[in-house]
Amino acid sequence: MEQKIHITLRFNLAIGKVNLNEIVYRLKELQNPLMLEILKTILMGYDDIISERLSRTDIYPSKARKGLGRHIRKGDPEERFCRGRKISKRGYRSKPRRFSTVFGRLDLPLRRAQCLNCGAFYSPLLSALHVGRYARKEMNFEHEVIEAVIDTNYRRLIDGRSIDISLGGIDNIVVGSDIDETFQEPVSTEDLSAILADGTPVKEHQGRKGELRNVIGISKAGRVEPLGCFTNTPWPEIERIVKERIKEAQSYNIPFVYDGEPGLDDFLSDVAESQRCTWHGPRGLYHSLWQDGLKKKDSQPETDKIKELIGIELPEGEFEILKEEDKQQVKTKYETSKSEIKELIKTFREKGYKHGAAYLENLSNRLFTNIELWLKTGVIAPKTTSLLERVFREIGRRLKKIAWGWSDTAVTNISKMIMIRQYSRDKWERYWKEKLGIKGYFNIEISSVKLSPGTHF
Ligand SMILES: [Zn+2]
């Protein structure tokens, strides 16, 4: 059904004085209020059409009432829908319904109707617009709030738009999001080159300290595949949830990279091969040797040595077309490093560095997983958690900037949102389009803009 809106704008222009900037400046101020007026006009017009069709059953066939007039039957304890579609108009509600929209606050007068079948009073516009009984904001607004929180510029969103949303309101939007139930499609290990997991401290409500834990996959193409964000959740619980998302594949040849947190030693062990983050190796050794009573200057040569033994560079280029001697070189270095680490463990034992020896022994089993994998399959897997640390830094920066205490759910949800928006942009956009229900049922265009005759001479 085509309709038209006529807009009359009145302006004064100081001839010979005004400049371009001032014109643009004032027009910019007009944007949101103008959109609000247009929105209100369209909605009130729609309300009139709906009421007309529902009340004039003598004129309109039942086909014209399709999708209109849905309401809950009066006094039905089970809240079932009434089948009555004939109303009598009962004026307007005493108070307009207030909505938060992207353009600002909308106070919308709502028509009231009485069902001639059950006698219930209701506002037919709300159900026609798919607005719930208690909804006070539209979804584009929610979308913008979330985008603004992710970009940490929510202040700019609120200022100058007469949007009144408290920080608590933003928290509610984040907590109420269904992000938790979405993005759960299974991931195949065949598409992954590694799985990474790590934790980072976060400040929560009333200064409570919490831990955000994150598991990501790295696809063979080097993309981040978020596998799960968790707040104050034990690792075994996280493992169970992540496992549910991983499709069983034939071989579990991918490394699991972590920084040596004890809770992660056997994490996903039937899906991936554990590998200590090679960056944390030397640091961990330093710590163990310190426990054995070594000063930094005495442990330095040992940690340097480990750094060197770990740092095996893989040759660039396609594995299949690499010369056999290039592979041989890696293999030789790998074998030497392994035996040198064994030597070192022996030396540590002889010197009585109990902690150092134990640490190195534990480390050596998991240090070269990526090399072994490469030698076997040619897949280059990441050997540090630095990527995950970068992800954490991005999340942390946002959580910190939003200077109020988050709840567990808020931290988890916002982290998921940041992850998905950052690393699966296309999925993020699809998610919102679906949520907003954009299906081509409303189109609008500017048909003409012209100056009224007689106002200029
Ligand atoms: Zn009814």
Centre of ligand 1 to C-alpha 81, Å, is 8
Question: H or E element: which one contains 98?
Answer: strand 97-101
pLDDT at 115: 96
Question: Which residues are in the CB-under-5-Å shell of ion ligand 1?
Answer: 82, 84, 115, 117-118, 120
**Residue-level length of the chain:** 457
In the chain, what percentage of residues exceed pLDDT 70? 83
Query: For residue 42, what are its two tokens?
Result: 């369209």
Centre of ligand 1 to C-alpha 42, Å, is 26
CB 170 within 8 A of CB 195: no
- pLDDT bin (cut points 50, 70, 90) of residue 374 is confident
pLDDT at 249: 55
Centre of ligand 1 to C-alpha 1, Å, is 27
**Spatial CA neighbour of 310 closest among 392, 356, 367, 360:** 367
DSSP classification of residue 204: B
Longest dimension (CA), the chain: 103
DSSP classification of residue 96: P
The helix/strand/coil state of 381 is: coil
Rounded Cα distance, 380 and 31, in Å? 52
Centre of ligand 1 to C-alpha 123, Å, is 12
Beta-sheet pairing, 111-115 with 87-92: antiparallel
Instruction: Classify the phi-psi angles of 386: left when phi > 0, otherwise alpha if psi is within -120 to 50, otherwise beta.
Output: alpha
- pLDDT bin (cut points 50, 70, 90) of residue 379 is low
Beta-ladder partners of 98: 107
Q: Reply yes or no on whether the pLDDT at 377 is more than 90.
A: no
* Section 193-203 average pLDDT: 80
Q: Which amino acid is at 360?
A: L
Residue range 273-313, pLDDT digits in tens:
666 666 667 777 888 888 888 888 888 888 787 777 777 66
Task: Please name the residues in contact with 399: beta carbons below 8 A apart, sequence gap of 6 or more.
Answer: 202, 203, 212, 406, 411, 414, 415
More confident residue, 238 or 391: 238
**Spatial CA neighbour of 374 closest among 299, 286, 275, 446:** 275
Centre of ligand 1 to C-alpha 363, Å, is 71
Rounded Cα distance, 278 and 391, in Å? 18
Give the strands of the sheet with 121-122, arranged side by side. Answer: 87-92, 111-115, 121-122
Rounded Cα distance, 342 and 349, in Å? 11
pLDDT at 152: 67
Beta-sheet pairing, 246-247 with 187-188: parallel
Beta-ladder partners of 107: 98
Centre of ligand 1 to C-alpha 300, Å, is 82
Centre of ligand 1 to C-alpha 118, Å, is 4
Rounded Cα distance, 306 and 300, in Å? 10
Residue range 388-422, pLDDT digits in tens:
777 777 777 777 666 456 777 888 888 888 888 87
Q: Reply yes or no on whether the pLDDT at 180 is more than 70.
A: yes
The helix/strand/coil state of 386 is: helix
Give the strands of the sheet with 224-231, arranged side by side. Answer: 224-231, 209-219, 192-203, 254-258, 272-276
Residue range 324-360, pLDDT digits in tens:
777 777 788 888 888 888 888 888 888 888 888 888 8
- pLDDT bin (cut points 50, 70, 90) of residue 226 is confident
Centre of ligand 1 to C-alpha 99, Å, is 26
Residue 276: exposure state from Cβ atoms within 10 A (0-12, 13-18, ≥19): buried
Centre of ligand 1 to C-alpha 121, Å, is 8
Q: Reply yes or no on whether the pLDDT at 260 is more than 80.
A: no
CB 114 within 8 A of CB 120: yes
* Section 200-228 average pLDDT: 78
* Section 202-216 average pLDDT: 79
pLDDT at 381: 62
Centre of ligand 1 to C-alpha 257, Å, is 61
Centre of ligand 1 to C-alpha 220, Å, is 58
Select, from the ranges 103-112, 139-148, 188-197, the one with the highest average predicted confidence (pLDDT). Answer: 103-112
Centre of ligand 1 to C-alpha 47, Å, is 18
pLDDT at 89: 96
pLDDT at 409: 82
Q: Which amino acid is at 59?
A: I
Centre of ligand 1 to C-alpha 54, Å, is 12
More confident residue, 4 or 335: 4
The helix/strand/coil state of 157 is: helix
* Section 28-42 average pLDDT: 95
pLDDT at 175: 80
Rounded Cα distance, 41 and 59, in Å? 25
pLDDT at 28: 92
Centre of ligand 1 to C-alpha 69, Å, is 9
Select, from the ranges 164-168, 247-251, 276-280, 324-328, the one with the highest average predicted confidence (pLDDT). Answer: 324-328
Centre of ligand 1 to C-alpha 124, Å, is 11
In the chain, what percentage of residues exceed pLDDT 90? 28
Rounded Cα distance, 284 and 290, in Å? 10
Select, from the ranges 35-49, 236-250, 254-268, 433-447, the one with the highest average predicted confidence (pLDDT). Answer: 35-49
* Section 109-114 average pLDDT: 96
More confident residue, 50 or 102: 50
CB 421 within 8 A of CB 150: yes
Question: H or E element: which one contains 90?
Answer: strand 87-92
pLDDT at 304: 81
What average pLDDT does the structure give for the chain? Answer: 82
pLDDT at 378: 66
pLDDT at 158: 63
Dihedral angle sign, alpha carbons of residues 123, 125, 130, 136:
negative
Q: Reply yes or no on whether the pLDDT at 19 is more than 80.
A: yes
Q: How many Å is the Cα radius of gyration of the chain?
A: 32
pLDDT at 442: 93
Q: Reply yes or no on whether the pLDDT at 433 is more than 80.
A: yes
pTM score, whole prediction: 0.65
Q: Residue 320 — φ and ψ, nearest 5°?
A: -65, -35
